[in-house]
Amino acid sequence: MSTVGQIEKKAQARVVALFQERLKYTYLGNWSDRPGNANIEPERLTAWLRDQGIADGLIRRAVHEFQRTATDTSKTLYDRNQAVYNLLRYGVKVRPALGEHHVTVWLIDWKHPERNDFAIAEEVWVAGADAKANTKRPDLVIYVNGIALGLLELKRSTVSVAEGIRQNLDNQKKTFIEPFFSTMQWLMAGNDSEGLRYGTIETPEKYYLQWTEDGGEHGDESNPLDRHLLQLCEKRRFLELIHDFVVFDAGTKKLCRHNQYFGVTAAQDFIRRREGGIIWHTQGSGKSLTMVWLAKWIREHRPDARVLIITDRTELDEQIEKVFKGVSEAIYRTQSGADLIDTLNGTTESLMCSLVHKFGGKEQDASSERESVKAFIASIQRLPSDFRAKGDLYVFVDECHRTQSGDLHQAMKKLMPDALFIGFTGTPLLKADKRKSIEIFGRYIHTYKFDQAVLEGVVLDLRYEARDIDQQLTNTTKVDQWFDAKTKGLNDLAKAQLKRKWGTMQRVLSSQSRLSKIVADILLDMSTRPRLADGHGNALLVAGSIYEACKLYTLFADTELKGKCAIVTSYTPSIADTKGETTGEGETDNLLKYGVYARMLADWFNEPEKTAVKKVETFEKQVKQRFVKEPGQMKLLIVVDKLLTGFDAPSATYLYIDKTMQDHGLFQAICRVNRLDGESKDYGYIIDYKDLFKSLECAVADYTSGSLDAYDKEDVEGLLKNRLSEAHEDLEQAREAIKALCDPVTPPRGELEYFRYFCAQDSGSAEQLKENEPKRLKLYKLLAGLLRSYANLASELAEAGYSPQDIYQIKAEVDHFTKVGDAVKRNSGDYIDLKAYEPAMRYLIDNYISASESEQISAFDDLSLVQLIVERGSEAVNALPKGIRKNEDAVAETIENNVRRLIIDESPIDPAYYEKISKLLDALIEQRRKGALSYKEYLEKIATLTRQAKRTDPQPDTGPSSLKTAAQRALFSNLGEDQALALAVDAAIRDSLMDGWRDSTMKLKRVRRAIRGILERAHASAEIPTPSVADEGATTYDIEAETTRLLDLAKHQHDY
């Protein structure tokens, strides 16, 4: 019996015992043979409802309504699951009798978890959705009161949890058991080595989550799978997670991350003590949904509760409204300070959001910001005589680090003296703000910092690189001449005023060349950097002003990024911008901005500028959507003040900063690139043209200087990693990995030793080639990783800390292992496939590894070794790398393994013919080993044999001249060289063929019947000998087996 299966079954048996003995679930048994398994077990549900004292009539109506909702196939799985969840969470409304009021039947006792019936069943056999669907058998199903709420797929420790996740995803398809998931809330997959991952219906694999919980009753559990199950499936916790931490968010069902759960539950404890505080959850970790779940809990558990969410940016105000409405929570967005006062003085709205001060569509400085705060304070201080904020108020202050200045907070406290304030922030608190914020809101309720989020894979790590572009005025004499020529007729005072203006213009004009250099820099990155080069990633460029953004766009529009680049700023073009701007001396700033925007919008919408300029909002939405969904078609967004904050700002792989930024604005901006975005995104990259972080030579622990020195050091720990030091570590790990893989190769580790380890100990052995395939695949994967790591540092090895001797050694290693990989591919018959390396990596490899190697690789871009032998005969050997070519045994083994691979691949087309070729190859190998042939004779014979295997040379044994096609010849050689029978079968097949016959069961049966009819007639007339030529060990003629054999042969014929 297979030990592999036993290992998985032992783990499952242990988990079943854990549910029974430690979690106190009832064991329902192994349901692999039990008929009628479903996600609702009506008998069990009915029995539990009776125990709650509910009348039988109500039970029948409630169960019927619940089953009807769960099985409503007119709805999508998402809609059905949402409808089921609503019945579970809010109860089933039924009438005891016609004309009576509705009563609520609760299918789960949420208030008393211990009163529910928790049970598990294993190996639950579930029939397919319909006659065409396939059955499935989930490993473990969690039933609560007879309703399937959880499902667990287990894998042995040597199989990735990802396999279990994909199993869950497959099972939700219509071709399998989709209806079974209409009641499912938690879907889990786990093994003993990785622990548990969880998601819900339709959760993509990359968004399955891992639970992290420090301490607690089960924190010391050594087995990660057992620990996670004990933490998540404990009865009270399991129901709490379903009741309080599930959301249907604009078409996507979501569960909470552990930081969201512990943030909300910690806040609940603070609220019970009537204590405010601050929740700091780093950017990208789901702060908005934390607000949603906490607001929902407050309104359901605190009598007369009202929640007010305060923001300080129009876009954040809009986003808060969008989030709550997306999860079907009605939220009222106040329009002004006066409107806020009226709303608080009334009782209609229990969930509100308000904008403290509007930054609007124009860039504002700190003074105008302060003025808007004063105006807001003034508006809320003009209170009606009868004003009193109604209800038990809870105020959420978003981005509390900047929203609550002392004066503003005092005004808000005066407006709502009894309110409880909770601050939310996604960035660390500035040192200067921390004491004030703690005085205003209270202590930290819960923190989830950047380095912890990176460690747990919630967000990606960041890599930082500073680039310096010097600015200088190239010819001051000509500048003075230009100035004098343009200012003739002006008096000295006018000239002095103009020179003050010129001081700014001088910087703008001198930056033209600087902007051009930035454009050239980014274009090079687009061709060479990870993800940018292959079209899977994109970038944001933060410009210093809208004017500079327009200049940059104009420069990019003359490159290959035309049509794949756009500006998104707060600027809205208006014809009024051009009035009074025409001087006859050239474009003013306003004219340039209007002109660039007008041309960009006209090109995008393919319509006149006059109408296109009115569609800025539509343009921004479309551009943003393309940037996210089609990064290859919208590779760069140039921004100034937009798309850098907020939960729905688009993620990117690269952020280029050419704007002076600091503190929270900088922190939020760089977090645009740390979001998860596809399997190929390993890091977010920050390219800094303003040297915002200073002191690049300092260690990671000191990255609180420069633009982040206003933060406490521990609050920004791990935010940025030095690109070179990180790349250095990646390269070292890649070198060690490939060396470890190749360590078992026996000395002297020449070509033959590598071939015998990775290909076959015995040349030409098909079994050994297949057996060693996993090792070769690992070699190719590790080689690709080495090349990728090397390419990232190829031009900066010295800057990364490598000595000249180290650099020489690294280049030699990369060169050596590249040759090893190429040689093993050729020897094993694995085709060369340049797609194994990303295009950007290949570009860099070709530049930093010797040109001769690149040429050798390109010679095999589209040809296998077999094809070269067919085309060039024994001369094909000259195209092999020198390392192989100089060793005759290595050449022989390489050719033999390639021919053996060809025979295996082609054998189904004509098994009898290729059996002969295989025997000829065995004989030729034997002759070579015994030294019966000279090297030259061997090469000629193997070339002839290769051509025979490829059937490019005229063959002496192809059969009678009456056999005109390859299919007829294949039938002839596989039917004991019976010409008449071969032609008869060929004719029968052709007469029965219909389009698409290989993929249609009915059409395939038609061909099968035709073949069988010929064989029956031939056998009846004794034309077919007994036993069949196809089965030398048979004693009787098996017509079914012979029909199947010939049908398989026919499937592989190109003539049919």
- Which of 116-125, 298-307, 317-326, 906-915 ranks highest by mean pLDDT? 116-125
| φ and ψ of 252, to 5 deg | -130, 125
- The pLDDT of 854-877, averaged and rounded, is 46
**How does residue 908 score in pLDDT terms, banded at 50, 70 and 90?**
confident
- DSSP conformational letter for 307: E
- DSSP conformational letter for 136: B
**How does residue 158 score in pLDDT terms, banded at 50, 70 and 90?**
confident
Name the 3-class secondary structure at 660: coil
- The pLDDT of 324-349, averaged and rounded, is 84
Smallest Cα–Cα separation from 683: which of 510, 480, 532, 879?
532
Please say if the pLDDT value at position 424 is more than 60: yes
Among 82-86, 265-269, 691-695, 990-994, the range scoring the smallest mean pLDDT is: 691-695
**How does residue 926 score in pLDDT terms, banded at 50, 70 and 90?**
confident
- Which of 4-8, 130-134, 179-183, 668-672 ranks highest by mean pLDDT? 179-183
Please say if the pLDDT value at position 440 is more than 50: yes
- The pLDDT of 647-665, averaged and rounded, is 70
**For a pLDDT cut of 90, what percent of the chain falls above it?**
32
- The pLDDT of 995-1024, averaged and rounded, is 82
- The pLDDT of 340-364, averaged and rounded, is 72
Among 378-387, 419-428, 988-997, the range scoring the smallest mean pLDDT is: 378-387
**How does residue 1023 score in pLDDT terms, banded at 50, 70 and 90?**
low
The CATH code of domain 256-448 reads: 3.40.50.300
Q: How far apart are CA 745 and CA 510, in angstroms?
A: 60
Handedness of CA 611, 613, 615, 619 (dihedral sign): positive
Type and span of the H or E element at 421? strand 420-425
**How does residue 852 score in pLDDT terms, banded at 50, 70 and 90?**
very low
Q: Each residue of 489-521: b (16+ CB within 10 Å) or e?
A: eeeeeeeeeeeeebeeeeeeeebeebbebbbee
Smallest Cα–Cα separation from 70: which of 94, 57, 86?
86
Among 428-432, 698-702, 904-908, 982-986, the range scoring the smallest mean pLDDT is: 698-702
- Tell how strand 147-154 and strand 140-144 pair up: antiparallel
Q: How far apart are CA 477 and CA 498, in angstroms?
A: 18
Q: What is the pLDDT of residue 64?
A: 96
For residue 93, the tally of other CB atoms under 10 A from its CB is 14
In the chain, the amino acid numbered 634 is M
Q: What is the pLDDT of residue 583?
A: 46
Stretch(es) of the chain classified as CATH 3.40.50.300 = 256-448, 461-719
- 562 neighbors 676 (Cβ within 8 angstroms): no
- Terminal-residue alpha carbon distance, the chain: 43
Q: How far apart are CA 1017 and CA 326, in angstroms?
A: 71
> Which has the higher per-residue pLDDT, 922 or 814?
814
**How does residue 781 score in pLDDT terms, banded at 50, 70 and 90?**
confident
- The pLDDT of 421-429, averaged and rounded, is 77
Name the 3-class secondary structure at 386: coil
Among 21-25, 251-255, 426-430, 975-979, the range scoring the smallest mean pLDDT is: 426-430
Q: What is the pLDDT of residue 780?
A: 84
Helix ranges restricted to H, 445-491: 450-455, 476-486
Q: What is the pLDDT of residue 1030?
A: 44
461-719 classified as CATH 3.40.50.300: yes
> Which has the higher per-residue pLDDT, 652 or 672?
652
The tens digit of pLDDT for each residue in 35-65 reads 999 999 999 999 999 999 999 999 999 999 9
**For a pLDDT cut of 70, what percent of the chain falls above it?**
73
Mean pLDDT, the chain, whole residue set: 78
Q: How many residues does the chain have?
A: 1056
Among 506-520, 753-767, 893-907, the range scoring the smallest mean pLDDT is: 506-520
Q: How far apart are CA 713 and CA 451, in angstroms?
A: 13
- 356 neighbors 403 (Cβ within 8 angstroms): yes
> Which has the higher per-residue pLDDT, 20 or 864?
20
- Tell how strand 305-311 and strand 246-249 pair up: unpaired
- Tell how strand 332-333 and strand 420-425 pair up: unpaired
CA distances from 51 to 47, 107, 117, 705, 1013 (A): 6, 12, 11, 65, 67
The tens digit of pLDDT for each residue in 497-507 reads 555 444 444 34
> Which has the higher per-residue pLDDT, 908 or 171?
171
Please say if the pLDDT value at position 866 is more than 50: yes
